Every structure is written in structure tokens, then in C-alpha cells.
Amino acid sequence: MQWNQDEKFNQIVAYLEQNGCDFPILIPWLQNQKEFFSKWEDDITKHISFLYNHKDLYAIVFAYEDDYCGVVYQGGQLFPFGQTEENLFGHDYIVEMMIHFGDTKKIAEIVPEIHGMNVENKMKVLKNVKFNLEGYHFR
């Protein structure tokens, strides 16, 4: 079966659409992530986070254990990133800053168990932190 006819693929697309990310340009990129998404065995929503700057969507981040990748949507174009990328264009400064917020002393004072968590779990915690909604925050 084609990956884009797979139930999980459709669930991901539907979840992104529900969250206002119905960019047609996203579909071909998602189709290329079959290997990454196929590792997800359960609820897809726990692997997907939306990074906002105030009311503007900045990036969609997909995480599985310690792996993550995603896209920045800018001016009608997608700019993919991932932590395994070794070149400048596969690495997003803001996404890195926000994911690494999970390693700071400040968050550890409120959620001490965050240290030692993998990226996927850190993202889950950060989605539930009551961030200042006028700045960068995960949803």
C-alpha cells in the first residue's frame, strides 16, 4: 500500500489540518517521511508540536524518542530541519533554542524530572508549560 493511503498518514494530515496547517505544500514533504513516521506505534498527537511566536505559527515539530524533524512555513515555502542534519540549512535556530529550553535550570525547577527525558517527552512537557503566549511557545 502507498504510504499516502496509509491510515497513519491520513491521521497525521487530519491532525495538522485541525490545527490550521492545511498547506498543500506539506503533503509531499510528509510523504517523504514514511520511515520516520512508521516508528510511531500509538497516538500520533503526542509526537506532533506546533511552535508559535505569539499568534504566528513558526514551525511544526515531529518527535520520536530522541529524533526530531519538522518544517518552518515561511512565505508559502517549507524549510525542513532535523537534528541529524549537519548543514546550516537543515538546522533551525529558534526550534533548537526552544527544544533546548527543556535543558535549562529554569524549567528543571518546576519540572525536575525533565532532565534525562528524551526529546519526545521533553516536547510533551513543554507543550503543557504555561508559557507567555505573546512570545515563543509550543502548542
Partner 1 sequence: MFEAYEGFLNLDHILQEEYQYTYQGDLQDFYQQPFVEMEGVGVDALCWISYRGQKYLFKPIDDFSYNVWGELLSQEVAREMGISCASYRAASLGNLKGVITKSFIKQNETLILGGEVFQRFLNRNQKLTKDLYQRMEESFKNSEDFDSDITLRQKNFFRYLNNLEYISLILEENPNINNKETESLIDFFEKMLLFDLVTMQKDRHPDNWGIKKSLEESETVHYRPACLFDHANSFGLGMKFMKEKVVSFRSQYFDLLLLKDEKRKKELFHQGFPAFTLSANNTFVDENQENISFSKVLKDYLEKTSEDHYIHFINYINQLDVNFLDKMIKTAEIKNGLMMNPDVYYYISVLFEYHIKQLQHVCNQVQRSNENAVESGRKI
Can you give the binding site for partner 1, defined by CB under 8 A? 53-56, 58, 72, 74-75, 77, 79, 85-89, 91-94, 96-98, 101, 104-107, 109-110, 129-137
Of 41 and 93, nearer to partner 1 (C-beta) is: 93
Of 42 and 89, nearer to partner 1 (C-beta) is: 89
Do 90 and 81 meet the contact criterion of CB atoms below 8 Å apart? Answer: yes
CB of 43 to partner 1, least distance (A): 25
Rounded to a whole number of angstroms, the distance between the first and last alpha carbons of the chain is 32
CA Rg value for the chain: 15
- What CA–CA distance (Å, rounded) separates 33 from 9? 10
CB of 8 to partner 1, least distance (A): 29
Q: Give kind and range of the element (H or E) at residue 126.
A: helix 119-128
Of 39 and 115, nearer to partner 1 (C-beta) is: 115
Q: Give kind and range of the element (H or E) at residue 70.
A: strand 67-74
Count the Cβ atoms, other than its own, within 10 Å of residue 103: 12
Of 24 and 75, nearer to partner 1 (C-beta) is: 75
CB of 47 to partner 1, least distance (A): 21
CB of 35 to partner 1, least distance (A): 22
